[in-house]
Amino acid sequence: MASFSTTATIIEPEISRDDHGTPPPIRDGGDYGRPGSPDYGTRLRRARLGLFVALIPVVMLFVSFTSAYVVRQGLPTLDPRTNNLTRDWIPVALPRLLLLNTFVLLVSSVSMELARRQIRARAMMETASAGTQIEIPWLGMTVILGLAFLFGQWMAWKQLAANGFYVSTTPSSSFIYLLTGAHGAHLLGGIVALFIAGVASLLHRSLKTRSIVVDVTAWYWHFMAVLWVYIFWLMKVAR
């Protein structure tokens, strides 16, 4: 049997009460009301952890699309006219424009990284403005490159359509629109986040806050670039 001996007294925890039985007065939604909010390092770590977790379902979404893609490619279907199982997968020629778009996205990843480091350096130095130095607007460039990528994807879609491949034309064309569209939608989300961070100075958010936003969005952006390379490879090679 267990035994326990102590000379220590057990202190009852002090119970502080608000208005008994009524809901407590609610302060500002994010104010924890205790001295010392989490510091920059904690906030950054937490935000990055959140992003890492958030990327998992994005991965699952594209894993799921990939498995549908692979299954569909190899799937024989019953042709009732011949009573035979046939495969009906016809690969689609990818517009060359996609190569250019890939290049643009990879360059945007570089500018994104530079933007991330730039704002982080400023946040660490606690300077709210660039001072008198002229700084290259990496963030703005990333937004522009991102938009250029999306525009390029749109043009690629138009090229496919011009060649007669719409979303429902063949299974392979369905997947091309699906994969590029899903990726584009996610990238657009990243562009929106960057845009908000870029104009956040107008919203009186602190530099540290903006730096965290840009940091998290940067990792998201790099992930989008890697994801795009994967999708491009899938469509080009696994056909």
Q: Write out the binding residues for another protein, residues 121-140 only, by CB under 8 A.
A: none
Nearer to another protein, 117 or 186 (CB): 186
The interface mask with another protein, positions 188-217, x = CB under 8 A, is -xx--x--xx--x---xxx--xx-xx--xx
| H runs (alpha helix) in 83-206 | 97-125, 138-162, 171-198
Question: Taking CB under 8 A as the criterion, which residues in 62-101 touch another protein?
Answer: 63-65, 67-68, 71-72, 75, 77-83, 85, 88
Which helix H or strand E contains 222, and what residues bound it?
helix 207-237
Q: Name the residue nearer to another protein (CB basis): 63 or 125.
A: 63
Smallest CA-to-CA distance from 49 within 192, 215, 229 is with 215
Cα–Cα distance measured from residue 221 to residue 218, given in angstroms and rounded to the nearest whole number? 5
Minimum distance, C-beta of residue 55 to another protein, in the bound complex (Å): 8
- Tell me, by CB under 8 A, how many residues bind another protein: 87
Residues 159-178 that bind another protein (CB under 8 A): 167-168, 171, 174, 178
43 versus 117: smaller Cβ distance to another protein? 43
Cβ-based nearer residue to another protein, 145 or 197? 197
Burial class (CB in 10 A: 0-12, 13-18, 19+), 98: buried
When binding is defined by CB under 8 A, the residue of 7, 41, 56, 162 that contacts another protein is 56
Q: Min. distance of Cβ 40 from another protein in angstroms?
A: 10
Binding segment (CB under 8 A) for another protein, from list 38-46, 92-100, 128-136, 155-163: 38-46
Task: Give dist(CA 183, CA 156) in Å, integer.
Answer: 14
Binding part of the chain for another protein, among 16-24, 100-108, 127-135, 151-159 by CB under 8 A, reads 16-24
Binding segment for another protein (CB under 8 A), chosen from 121-129, 141-149, 185-193, 228-236, is 185-193
Q: What sign has the CA pseudo-torsion 213, 205, 207, 145?
A: positive
Residues 232, 102: contact at Cβ < 8 Å? yes
Which is nearer to another protein, 138 or 220 (by Cβ)? Answer: 220
Helix H or strand E segment including 79: strand 76-79
Alpha helices in 163-206 (DSSP H): 171-198
Between 81 and 132, whose beta carbon lies closer to another protein?
Answer: 81
Give Cα 101 distance to the centre of its chain: 18
Cβ contacts of 89 within 8 Å, gap of 6 or more: 72, 73, 74, 75, 170, 171, 172
Binding residue for another protein, selected from 30, 129, 133, 134, defined by CB under 8 A: 30
